[in-house]
Amino acid sequence: MKIQVITLFPEMFEGVLNTSMLRKAQDKKLVEYKLINLRNFGIGPRKQVDDTPYGGGDGMVLRVEPLLAAVQHAMSSIRQAQDRSVTNRQSLVVLMTPRGKKFTQAKARELSRIDNLILVCGRYEGYDERVTSFIDEQISIGDYVLTGGELPAMVVIDAVTRLIPGVLGGTTSAVRESFAQAGVVEYPQYTRPEKFRGLKVPKVLLSGHHAEVEKWRTGQQRKK
C-alpha cells in the first residue's frame, strides 16, 4: 500500500511515521509513506499557496492551483508505478475536512484495501471550494475544528495501516478489538499481578476453561 500526504508541514509526520507499528509496517515493506510539501507547488517566486477570501472575512484560503498541482503530482507517481506493474491498482484522493463524512472503523477497514491512498490536509481558514471537484472523498475525524488536516491525517494513517495484513502480530488482533463489529467494543483485559491493592483478576480468566472465558468475554462486550 502507498499512502501519500499533501501538507504544508511535512515535518509534523516524521515522528509519527517512524515510530511503533507504522515504522514496522514500512520495514516489512507492507506500506510506503510519501510526504508531499504543498509549498513546492506554490505560485510565483514566493511560492504562494493561499490568498484572501472573496466576499471578505478573516484568515487566508488555500488556493486551488497548488492543491490540484500537488494532487496531480501524487497521481503521476502512481501512474508511473502502474506502468511497471501488471495489475491495475486502485487509488483514492481524500480531503481531510470537518465537513467530511465521519471516520469510523468500518471506513478504516475499507481504506486499508486501497492500494494508493492520497490524503490532502487543509490549513488556515480553509480551502478554495473548487478543489472538491478533484478529490474522491471528504473525511472528518470528529465534530470539532483543528488548525489543519495534519492530525486527522495521522489518525487515518494509524487506523488504516494497522489493518493491513501482516502489520499486527496476532492473527486475531484486528478481529477481536473494539468496533470490529458495528457498535461492539472490546472486552476488559487483565495481566499480572493477579491481585493489586484489593483489585483481583476475574476468576474465570484464571480457570483455563476456554469456553467459559469466551462466554465471559462475550457477556462483557454486550455489557459495555
139 with 206, same domain: the answer is no
Q: Are 35 and 138 members of one domain?
A: yes
pLDDT score, position 82: 65
Q: Are residues 142 and 198 in the same domain?
A: no
Same domain, 131 and 206: no
Please check whether residues 84 and 191 belong to one and the same domain: no
* pLDDT for residue 86: 44
CATH number of the domain bearing residue 69: 3.40.1280.10
For a pLDDT cut of 90, what percent of the chain falls above it?
A: 85
Tell me whether residue 106 is in a domain.
yes
In a shared domain, residues 72 and 144: yes
Q: State yes or no: pLDDT of 69 exceeds 70.
A: yes
pLDDT on residue 89:
59
Number of domains in the chain: 2
Which residues lie across from 51 on neighbouring strands?
61
Q: Are 115 and 195 found together in one domain?
A: no
pTM, 2 dp? 0.89
Q: What are phi and psi of 140, to 5 degrees?
A: -120, 145
Mean pLDDT throughout 85-101?
A: 83
Angstrom distance (rounded) from CA 31 to CA 26:
5
**DSSP H helical ranges for the chain:** 14-17, 20-27, 64-83, 105-111, 150-161, 210-223
Whether the predicted pLDDT of 84 surpasses 80: no
CA distance 33 to 4: 6
Confidence of residue 163 (pLDDT cuts 50, 70, 90): very high
Read off the pLDDT of each residue in 189-207 and give the average, rounded to a whole number: 97
Grid coordinates given for 20: 511503533
The pLDDT of residue 87 is above 90: no
Q: Which domain holds residue 100?
A: 2-161
Handedness of CA 95, 101, 104, 110 (dihedral sign): negative
**pLDDT score of 79:** 78
Average pLDDT, the chain: 92
Residue 167 placed within a domain = no
pLDDT score recorded for residue 178 = 63
**Mean pLDDT along residues 31-48:** 98
Q: What is the pLDDT of residue 173?
A: 59
Please tell me the least confidently modeled range out of 6-20, 32-46, 59-73, 167-181: 167-181
Residue 49 and residue 154 in one domain: yes
